[in-house]
Structure 1
Amino acid sequence: MKAAVLFETRQPLEVADVVVANPGPREVLIRTRAVGVCRSDLHFVDGTYPHALPAIPGHEAAGVVEAVGSEVRTVKPGDHVVTCLSAFCGHCEFCITGRMFLCVSAETRRGKGEAPRLTLADGGVVNQMLNLSAYAEMMLVHEHACVAIDRDMPLDRAALIGCAVTTGAGAVFNTTDVSPGETVCVVGCGGIGLAAVNAAKIAGAGKIIALDPVPEKRAIAEKLGATHTFDAMAEGVVAEVVELSKGGVDHAIEAVGRPQSAATTVSVLRRGGTATILGMMPLAEKVGLSAMDLLSGKKLQGGLMGSNRFPVDIPRLVDFYQRGLLDLDTIIAERLPLDRINHAFDELRKGDATRSVITFDA
């Protein structure tokens, strides 16, 4: 199969021939149909976050099941599926307490003594990234890394649910549990931030304030449900948000991964408000609350993958799309073939586009 392989950080990916193994007992072989180009991949491509190389990035995907292992019970050949990087074992402490997104069990990956899932044509090992490696014509994953969805759902839009929407909408529905009428501020209007804006509208939030330096992204946020938008880099923007929300917002969600954005997220909170950080910041960075913030009852938390229970959440998000509540069409900026993956990353580095999607022929 063809796959976009990262051989060296800060260098273009190479579309190369890769051999995918036959599925093991708990594994699912998926023919990839669409993959979103997410900033999380860019962190690994640019070397900000470490990963064993060579590797195939890509983790926001949808496709069709080709074959399953002997013990697979959750999907079958022909099923349309969305993948999710937060593969779970199902029986560790995190899983049985309902926090499957925190599972780090090695059971969902092949062991050291087993043949690798992915190899180069010369036999060299290709490391699987984030349990998926989706910039490839095929994916071989644990059955608890995918979920079947309605076959009427367009797969190029379904792919976005695998990361951006699960993370952004999950931050609203699961991590922060926004109540109707509460105020929400979303910092950053990329794919994740726009999904959070859309979800806040679905949740019945009152004022939904979106911050981004790109006017086009602010316009999209307004289309998806933002009641007010501001240039995130403008002088005095924090004061404007605090004034507009009459003392600060109930929930602020950071969806960029920059220290300045995290600081803004904390600064726009009202007394008792909660800041949720979704973006992948440089590993040496820290986010904190001042003594006065703590005395004011403010809270700061992370939101890994939208605190998802993806086998339940993803079909529900598909249903939201099919009912016209979740707008995925507006988020997609362009659809590209696999050989233009490096162009998609260049556009992502510019920061102007919302979401590029790599699509494969049926």
Structure 2
Amino acid sequence: MSKRIITFGEILLRLSPPNHSKLYKAKSFEAHYGGAEANVAASLALFGCDVKFVTAVPDNELGDSALSELRSYGVEPIAVKQGNRLGVYYFEQGASERPGKVLYDRTSSSFANLKKGMIDWETIFKDSDWFHWSGINASLSQDLAELCKEALEVASKMGLTISADLNYRPTLWNYGKNASEIMPELVQYCDVLLGGTDDSEKCLGIKINPSETIENVFTKWKQQFSKLKTIVSTMRYDANASSNIIGAVLWDGTNLLKSKEYNITHIIDRIGAGDAFMAGLIYGLIAYPDSNQVALEYAVAASCLKHSIPGDVNLSTVNEIIALINGAGGGRVIR
């Protein structure tokens, strides 16, 4: 892949009780590194892409460990070293009808204390082709929302393709602003957007009627954000914590494309499945520029495989994803 991709976000330490235990009585934790944009970066690097990840970590062993983890996937981290704590989240894995649960502990983390003017975006974006970010960044503080806008202005000026995942997390918007007050000003710079119809009013301030088709909803988004070329939404059906049917749709302004659906009956770990989808979509749009359908199928297959992999990062290879697209599923042993 000749394209150079930049992602921007927080790398987090994830702590999970083993064996689907509840946090309430947890006596030990399994540790993984993750975070939405870090997961996208790692997955793209495993696909063979040239990826840099912009973040902030403390200047201590934990910060160094997080950056080492990124490098192990082939990602080049660009990290501001400041503060004394890495963001943490606790994940309680659900089972059957008991849903999973996430508790965030990221207030005053090294990343949360980033501000406008602290990152040399022009140098970072030099010779780069693609910039990816998500709404989680803007949810953490007014300073980070302003830093996102600074990055987007420079990326747009330098001609990068810009993608975003709305990634609406209501528990993170705690600094006095609603997502609908912040996100529209940022989404205006995007070429590619991942989000669901449920996000329309909460994130974008665009009211819709429950009876509206997805084409009508995305048409409204396009009318407000004229730069958008591709809008994508993932779908889950008959879902509980252990079993999902997943698929996705892609709208290019004219056609609504629908993907194959996958029935996932034994979920190992669904954290990062959306990030696996986003990485797959970016890869697909770059690798198959003449076929949005192939790009969409690649993204959904990548997300499907992530459900079988513990931790935040999708460890699936390009060949494994293509094999699933071509029908090599069903649990057969590859010999």
Establish whether TM, by shorter chain, passes 0.5.
Answer: no
Name whichever structure is richer in helix by fraction: 2
TM-score for both structures, normalised by structure 1: 0.31
**Could you say which structure has the larger radius of gyration?**
1
TM-score for both structures, normalised by structure 2: 0.33
Higher RCO, 1 vs 2 (CA within 8 Å, ≥6 residues apart): 1
